[in-house]
């Protein structure tokens, strides 16, 4: 039990070091040696806990996805009203926890790595699937949404993810070009439109 705990701590330490290296040097510049230096361990220690640099990327995507979902749950769990929970969930999508130069830059670097690695690609696909699932769960708290067909619910969730990712990418390229508060308001309007006009989906 103690050994597993130490191993988990060491793996987390390496993942956080990898994150810092990617933010500072880009994924291509985050070498095993740089990650080890950032983590304060020998390069051989990295190989003891991870079989490859790609495995570190996969684990990092999972680690930060779990962290985001934990923060997301903590923000909305105090609210029992479905519309308030949905509102808080949408607010979270456009918060600094989700959109920042560091976090967005790191995610984009992982997406680039996914082009040439099917396992990283699958990990990122799982991340999007989790977001769509979470969105549908919270929209289901609204009576109007719960009455939609499964395909319509899936499309609505996909639309919200696509809108968020597009806004995030534009904001990352030029923060002055996109107002996140306006994007939040537009997302609420889009959700209401699709719920009220399900045949348009």
Domain CATH code at residue 23: 1.10.10
Question: pLDDT confidence of 4, banded at 50, 70, 90?
Answer: low
Task: State pLDDT tens for residues 11-60.
Answer: 999 999 999 999 999 988 999 999 999 999 999 999 899 998 889 999 99
CB 141 within 8 A of CB 82: yes
What was the pLDDT predicted at 89? 83
Is the pLDDT at 2 greater than 70, yes or no? Answer: no
Which range marks the domain in which residue 38 is found?
1-50
122 lies in the same domain as 70: yes
Tell me what the mean pLDDT of segment 134-143 comes to.
Answer: 80
What was the pLDDT predicted at 129? 92
Task: State pLDDT tens for residues 61-112.
Answer: 899 888 888 888 888 888 777 778 778 888 888 888 889 999 999 999 999 9
65: domain CATH number? 1.10.357.10
Measured from the Cβ of residue 74, the count of other Cβ atoms closer than 10 Å reads 10
Q: Round to whole Å and give the CA distance between 18 and 60.
A: 8
Joined tokens for residue 165: 């990712």
What was the pLDDT predicted at 143? 76
Task: State pLDDT tens for residues 144-172.
Answer: 777 888 888 888 889 889 999 999 999 99
Q: Round to whole Å and give the CA distance between 29 and 152.
A: 42
What was the pLDDT predicted at 68? 87
Within 13 Å of residue 85, how many CA atoms lie on the same side as its CB? 18
CB 124 within 8 A of CB 111: yes
Tell me what the mean pLDDT of segment 164-189 comes to.
Answer: 92
DSSP 8-state code for residue 41: S
What was the pLDDT predicted at 175? 93
φ, ψ of residue 41 to 5 degrees: the values are -130, 170
Structurally, the chain folds into a number of domains equal to 2
45 lies in the same domain as 62: no
124 lies in the same domain as 38: no
Structure pTM?
0.82
Alpha-carbon 64 to chain mean position? 7
CB 127 within 8 A of CB 65: yes
What was the pLDDT predicted at 195? 75
């Amino acid at each position: 039990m103690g050994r597993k705990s130490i191993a988990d701590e060491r793996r987390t330490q390496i993942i956080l070091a990898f994150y810092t290296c990617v933010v500072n040097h880009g994924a291509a510049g985050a070498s095993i040696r740089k990650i080890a230096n950032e983590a304060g361990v020998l390069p051989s220690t990295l190989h003891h806990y991870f079989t490859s640099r790609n495995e570190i990327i996969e684990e990092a995507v999972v680690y930060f996805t779990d962290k985001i979902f934990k923060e997301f749950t903590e923000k909305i769990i105090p609210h029992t009203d479905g519309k308030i929970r949905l509102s808080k969930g949408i607010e979270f999508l456009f918060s600094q926890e989700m959109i920042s130069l560091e976090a967005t830059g790191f995610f984009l670097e992982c997406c680039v790595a996914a082009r040439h690695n099917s396992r990283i690609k699958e990990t990122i696909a799982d991340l999007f699937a989790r977001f769509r699932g979470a969105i549908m769960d919270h929209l289901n708290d609204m009576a109007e949404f719960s009455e939609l067909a499964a395909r319509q619910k899936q499309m609505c969730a996909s639309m919200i993810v696509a809108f968020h990712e597009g806004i995030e990418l534009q904001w990352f390229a030029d923060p002055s070009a996109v107002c996140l508060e306006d994007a939040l308001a537009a997302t609420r309007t889009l959700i209401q439109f699709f719920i009220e006009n399900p045949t348009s989906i």
